[in-house]
């Protein structure tokens, strides 16, 4: 049997981080759907220990990450006495998918060329940067 999850998405908010004997972090990952049913799924994620410390320190709203982990289901009784079922991804590992300083740089303009698309090369080519 195998229970393994690999997802790529963006955090919907800064992780909820709790330090203590066993640190943990909780966050929601928005994962785009593909195909006819466009939209996103919002996946509840939980991590522990050093993985949680990393999440609490470095992850923020909008961060695009890849996670690897496994699905864990559970249930509890709420204050109204109703049973609530849960599904979480327990994150074993996460990685950044984008640079933190992702600045879009404009594409430099192409040099103009005469009609026909050819550039005249001088007869004396000793000044060219390549040979």
What distance in Å separates the CA atoms of residue 116 and residue 114, rounded to the nearest whole number? Answer: 6
pTM over 0.85: no
Question: Residue 55 in contact with residue 65, Cβ under 8 Å?
Answer: no
Structure tokens at 53: 């410390």
Q: Which CATH number fits domain 5-99: 3.30.1360.100, 3.40.50.2300, 1.10.3720.10, 2.40.50.140?
A: 2.40.50.140
Tokens found for residue 116: 């026909």
- β-partners of residue 40 are 32
Tokens 């996460």 locate to 94
Strand partners, 84: 76
Structure tokens at 4: 């393994």
pLDDT in tens, the chain (131 residues): 899 999 999 999 999 999 989 999 999 999 999 887 889 999 999 999 999 999 999 999 999 999 999 999 999 999 999 999 999 999 999 999 987 665 445 555 555 555 666 666 666 656 555 54
């Amino acid at each position: 049997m195998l229970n393994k999850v690999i997802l790529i998405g963006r955090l919907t908010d800064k992780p909820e981080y709790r330090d203590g004997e066993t640190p943990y972090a909780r966050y929601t990952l928005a994962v785009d759907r593909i195909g006819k049913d466009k939209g996103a799924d919002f996946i509840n994620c939980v991590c522990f220990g050093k993985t949680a410390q990393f999440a609490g320190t470095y992850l923020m709203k909008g961060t695009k990450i890849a996670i690897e982990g496994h699905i864990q289901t559970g249930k509890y009784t709420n204050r109204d006495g109703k049973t609530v079922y849960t599904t979480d991804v327990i994150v074993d590992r996460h990685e950044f998918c984008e640079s933190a300083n992702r600045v879009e740089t404009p594409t430099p303009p192409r040099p103009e060329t005469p009609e026909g698309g050819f550039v005249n090369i001088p007869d004396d080519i000793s000044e060219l940067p390549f040979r």
